[in-house]
Structure 1
Amino acid sequence: MWADALLISAGSLLAAFCASIAGFAFVLVGAAVLLQVMAPALVAPVLVMGSLIVQGIGTYAVRDHIPWRRLWLYVGTATLGVPFGLAILALGPARAIVAGVGVLLVVYASYTLARIALRMTPARRAATTATDAAIGFASGILGGIGGYVGALVGMWADVQGMPPQDTRALMQPFIAIMQALTIIGLAFTGFFTAEAIFLTATAVPALLLGTWLGLRAGKHLPAQGFRLVLLGLLLVSGISLLI
């Protein structure tokens, strides 16, 4: 039990640090570490609760910059998308859809990183209500399939050239709200065992430390450095969806 607690704490520290800088990827980073040594049924509730804590703290840090109207559009459309994701998961083609999203993320991140390396001016796209709604709905579908609610929002933020603070102010509350809804679903399906709650509780100091370190690093990271971190995590996200 205590060996598992140490592993959870180590994975949570790294995941919290990354998520606090980029605004997403807590579940991605944590799962990459913990699923190597622990059962998914135990890892899932721990990561979702940990993600809610980290994103909740991050949301408080950017509370004065949250675009509330835009955020509720994302939450509303994503919530509508979740049942479709669950249905896809039940019917079977979920793996193909996840792989397709993985290819999209890998191609986009690789192409954009190459443009940065070649010092080419990035192409920007303006957001519209329709595109925001589509990204939110698609994120909800991915959330229903496997909890991947942040990657597409992160990619869309980069396409628009959003500043770091604005990116985090949109992504962190969005992910926090969606994780809260996920927790309700996990609770009703019996995933919150005494062991999962114990492991989450023991990881709280690591979560707080990783979040604090990530927020401090994010404040001193220039916009281009933030973009490189964001694109790097998008690339890793895409690769993880393909494996």
Structure 2
Amino acid sequence: MLHELPIVVLCVFAAAIVRGFCGFGFALLVVMSASFVLPTKDIVPGMLLLEVVAGLRLLPSIRGHVHWRSIAIIIAAATVATPAGAFILRVAPAAAMQFGVSILVLLACGMLASGRRLTRMPTTPETAMTGAVAGLLNGSVGLAGPPVILFFLGSPLALEAGRASIIATFLAIDAVALPTMAMLGLFGRTTLLFALGSLPALVVGLAIGARMHDRVDQARARTVVLAVLAAMAVANAVTSAATLLS
């Protein structure tokens, strides 16, 4: 792990800048990039620890814009589904998990790039379904992001409200997932070293991203982030598929 730590720290730093800027993308970028040097089972628990720290750092500046009703429903459903996802993380083969994550990220990038938005807020059952899928994915691969991002950025909420709601939702879902992962024994030495070693890079990256938020064209930056995510997802899919077929 000591040899891979500088690479992982660099991945976290870049992902933290994106997180501070647009409110999402941290987990996607960390899992996609760090999985080239570490197993998914070591990355996911540590990444969730870092996500909680990131959410706490950003929460004071965004809490006034959060759509709390939707978040309450999403969190309740995610809480129920998270243990099942954590069990999958514990027993599933690493290469299969990596391939599944890559396909998931590609689908999410395509849907986000389409720019489609709803003309109304989703109903309570639709919101609960989003939370259940997010909890399952968060427990299994540490990626609650795709359903939550699609939910809020595809809703009629203003961009700032959507960003704030995404940040608050991630914080709550990740906090719920951590005890489950601890009970399943997923916090090993490598995971803790990854999280603690990356903490300074996380804090600095978040600060840089937050400053960029009001200075950089968000539409253009969002396009670049999606393109980078899609490229890494393709590379991961090819690598993991080769491992599965070998």
TM-score normalised over the length of structure 1: 0.77
**Closer/same/farther in 2, CA of residues 168 and 226 from structure 1, 3 Å limit:** farther
- Checking the alignment, whether the CA contact within 8 Å between 1:59 and 1:173 is kept in structure 2 is yes
- Checking the alignment, whether the CA contact within 8 Å between 2:45 and 2:186 is kept in structure 1 is yes
Q: For 2:174 and 2:41, how far apart are their aligned partners in 1?
A: 16
Spell out the pairing of 1:152-191 with structure 2 (5 A cutoff): 152-191=147-186
- Name the aligned partner's letter for residue 20 of structure 1: G
Name the SS of the counterpart of 1:3 in structure 2: coil
Partner of 2:188: 193
Segments of 5+ residues of structure 2 without an aligned counterpart are: 239-246
Deviation at 1:74, TM superposition (A): 1.2
- Name the aligned partner's letter for residue 140 of structure 1: G
Matched, 1:127 2:121: yes
- After superposition, the CA RMSD in angstroms is 3.3
Segments of 5+ residues of structure 1 without an aligned counterpart are: 113-121
Identity of aligned pairs, percent?
20
The one of 141, 147, 158 equivalent to 1:146 is 141
- Checking the alignment, whether the CA contact within 8 Å between 1:101 and 1:241 is kept in structure 2 is no
Q: For 2:127 and 2:237, how far apart are their aligned partners in 1?
A: 25
- Name the aligned partner's letter for residue 72 of structure 2: W
Deviation at 1:241, TM superposition (A): 8.5
Q: For 2:2 and 2:35, how far apart are their aligned partners in 1?
A: 17
TM-score normalised over the length of structure 2: 0.77
Q: For 2:39 and 2:100, how far apart are their aligned partners in 1?
A: 24
Matched, 1:108 2:102: no
After superposing the two structures, state which structure 1 stretch, 140-149 or 223-232, moved more: 223-232
User: Aligned residue pairs: how many?
Assistant: 233
Name the SS of the counterpart of 1:136 in structure 2: helix
Deviation at 1:206, TM superposition (A): 0.7
- Name the aligned partner's letter for residue 127 of structure 1: M
After superposing the two structures, state which structure 1 stretch, 126-135 or 233-242, moved more: 233-242
**Closer/same/farther in 2, CA of residues 208 and 108 from structure 1, 3 Å limit:** same
**Closer/same/farther in 2, CA of residues 224 and 63 from structure 1, 3 Å limit:** same
- Checking the alignment, whether the CA contact within 8 Å between 1:86 and 1:145 is kept in structure 2 is yes
Q: For 2:157 and 2:202, how far apart are their aligned partners in 1?
A: 27
- Checking the alignment, whether the CA contact within 8 Å between 1:80 and 1:140 is kept in structure 2 is yes
After superposing the two structures, state which structure 1 stretch, 197-206 or 208-217, moved more: 197-206
Q: For 2:128 and 2:74, how far apart are their aligned partners in 1?
A: 6
Deviation at 1:151, TM superposition (A): 1.0
The one of 196, 202, 216 equivalent to 1:221 is 216
Matched, 1:37 2:56: no
